């Protein structure tokens, strides 16, 4: 009994800290923000499936082209937003690290627990942990690329994907970010009582994961095909008048 009490004290002491509740809320809030942004971002990116003209118009709209006399957007909008998202990601990661197993014994205990108790939410949390670790390296790489080279367009984005071999990064980033985000939204909805229908919510999360993976893969393949057809030097896409 003494050993159990000692273990419980060690586990619960960080959670009893005065700022723990606020940190939990802030972690959930930043997670929701990032998850919703991912849903929007992937649909904006997938407009390339409707053609170069459609993607071009989406880019001009998002970069404030309606405020430009020429109708062209401002790439600095992409830079500023990328910096903002990087800060949000850093904050979210810092808060999530509070619960990250940092010792080999903790990892062994987690694996033993998963092996002995086949609980769906425990497995979901494990995969969110693994994908979160992967994203810790991949997301900054993606955002720094957008900060340093913010030009977006049917040809310029395809150049980045194909000629600059960014498809390697995106092929790893896509499954990791989709799985992490959808599991995260599922867990937040349960944690904060947004829904009590665990099974139905889990099915929605699975459906969204499959849908977003298919959507993202189709978009990435399209950019690769467009890039493979472009000669160098790459010229920005100009819509037909």
Q: What pLDDT is stored for residue 193 in this prediction?
A: 79
Q: Whats the size of the chain, residue-wise? A: 241
Average pLDDT over residues 195-209: 89
- Smallest CA-to-CA distance from 182 within 212, 215, 147, 162 is with 212
Q: Shortest CA distance to 99 belongs to which of 90, 88, 89, 110?
A: 110
| pLDDT interval class at 9 (50, 70, 90) | very low
C-alpha distances (whole Å) from 177 to each of 21, 104, 180 are 26, 25, 5
Give yes or no for residue 115 having a pLDDT over 70. no
pLDDT above 60: residue 8: no
Is 92 marked as a binding-site residue? yes
**Angle made by CA atoms 4, 7, 13, in degrees to the nearest 5:** 135
pLDDT at 197: 82
In tens, the pLDDT along 52-74 reads 999 999 999 999 988 877 767 89
Residue 46 predicted with pLDDT over 60: yes
Go through the domains of the chain in sequence order and give each one's CATH number: 22-100+124-229 (1.20.1300.10)
Q: Is residue 142 part of an annotated ligand binding site?
A: yes
Rounded CA-CA distance 237/52 in Å is 8
Asked whether residue 94 carries a pLDDT value surpassing 60, the answer given is yes
Is the separation of the CB atoms in 54 and 47 below 8 Å? yes
115 marked as binding residue: no
Listed in sequence order, the residues at least 6 apart from 159 whose beta carbon sits closer than 8 Å to its beta carbon are 227, 230, 234
Task: Identify the three-state secondary structure at position 164.
Answer: coil
What pLDDT is recorded for position 44? Answer: 96
Task: State yes or no: 119 annotated in a binding site.
Answer: no
Angle CA 117–35–150, to nearest 5: 135
Alpha-carbon distance of 144 to 34, in angstroms, equals 17
pLDDT of residue 68: 78
Name the residue among 44, 64, 63 with its Cα closest to residue 54.
Answer: 44
Q: How many helices, marked H, and strands, marked E, lie in the chain?
A: 9, 0
Supply the mean pLDDT for the chain: 86
């Amino acid at each position: 009994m003494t050993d159990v009490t000692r273990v419980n004290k060690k586990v619960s002491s960080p959670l009893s800290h005065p700022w723990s509740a606020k940190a939990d809320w802030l972690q959930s809030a930043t997670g929701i923000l990032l998850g919703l942004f991912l849903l929007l971002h992937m649909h904006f990116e997938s407009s390339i499936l409707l053609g170069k003209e459609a993607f071009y118009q989406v880019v001009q709209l998002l970069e404030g082209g309606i405020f430009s006399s020429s109708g062209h957007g401002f790439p600095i909008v992409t830079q500023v937003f990328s910096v903002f998202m990087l800060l949000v990601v850093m904050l979210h990661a810092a808060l999530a690290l509070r619960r990250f197993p940092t010792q080999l014994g903790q990892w062994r205990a987690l694996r033993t627990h998963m092996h002995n108790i086949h609980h769906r939410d425990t497995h979901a949390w494990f995969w969110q942990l693994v994908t979160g670790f992967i994203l810790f390296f991949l997301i900054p790489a993606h955002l720094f690329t957008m900060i340093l080279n913010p030009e977006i367009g049917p040809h310029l984005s395809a150049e980045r994907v194909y000629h600059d071999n960014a498809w390697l990064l995106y092929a790893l980033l896509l499954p990791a970010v989709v799985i992490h985000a959808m599991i995260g939204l599922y867990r937040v909805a349960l944690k904060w009582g947004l829904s009590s229908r665990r099974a139905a919510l889990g099915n929605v999360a699975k459906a969204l994961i499959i849908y977003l993976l298919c959507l993202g893969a189709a978009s990435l393949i399209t950019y690769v095909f467009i890039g493979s057809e472009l000669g160098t030097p790459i010229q920005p896409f100009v819509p037909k008048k």
